Structure 1
């Protein structure tokens, strides 16, 4: 049995290392990922991006993490600070929401949504003036 904190920490380590095998164990079968510009990826596509060679992280950290648990599900909201590239484009810092569910006593990630933070590195949206 794992905790929500452990699941999110394992995800961050796996994402940082482009570790498709570990990521596969952390995602539900019906996982959906949504990128900062609205693209949607299935579980297989999300895992595939880790092993394609198109994604590279120089740095990845989760900050400002809050967890709101509701029975067998939880929302985890964090600031995802990154440096790296996807298909030759710089990765943006995002506010990221994880939908986490309990499956057989273990916490799994059912969804991830990244949203630009105005003014943050990589955001096309300028910060407040």
Structure 2
């Protein structure tokens, strides 16, 4: 996998873990949208606002890309996001299968879309992923 894409994944996960809306602001495209684990869709501003006034707090946040495929100035990353978090005081811990659509523009790699699907059981580290 391209080192730039690996680095993007590290920066994105660290910004999410810290709740760093300013860093995320630089990592998301202007027309970014996210599909949450229950099917809701939120835009860029709403995604960033989750961190205002400490609504979303991560005690831990881990992103392990399973596969990244590059297509010119676009890439698709599939991985597992594991988190211990609260949102508005409610427990939102979980493990999610995640698909990210990344695009390369004048600002470098940026996240255009993310889709999360809950995983009933966390994947075992010693068990290989299947495509």
> Do the two structures share a fold, i.e. TM-score over 0.5?
yes
- In the TM superposition, what are the counterparts of 1:10-89 in structure 2 within 5 Å? 10-87=11-88, 88-89=90-91
How many angstroms apart in 2 are the aligned matches of 1:105 and 1:54? 28
CA distance in 2, matches of 1:64, 1:99: 13
Contact 1:19 1:51 in 2 (8 A): no
Structure 2 residue ranges without an equivalent (≥5): 123-131
C-alpha displacement at 1:64, in angstroms? 4.6
Is contact 1:12–1:61 with CA below 8 Å preserved after alignment? yes
Task: State TM-score, norm by structure 2.
Answer: 0.85
How large is the Cα RMSD of the aligned pairs? 1.7
Question: How many matched pairs?
Answer: 120
1: CA distance, partners of 2:23 / 2:107: 18
Structure 1 residue 27: deviation in Å? 0.3
Matched residues in 2 for 1:31 and 1:19: separation?
Answer: 17
Deviations 1:34-83 (A, max 9, x none): 11001111000001102231111111111253101111100001111111
Tell me, yes or no, if the aligned pair for 2:17 and 2:60 is still in contact at 8 Å: yes
Give the TM-score taking structure 1 as reference length: 0.86
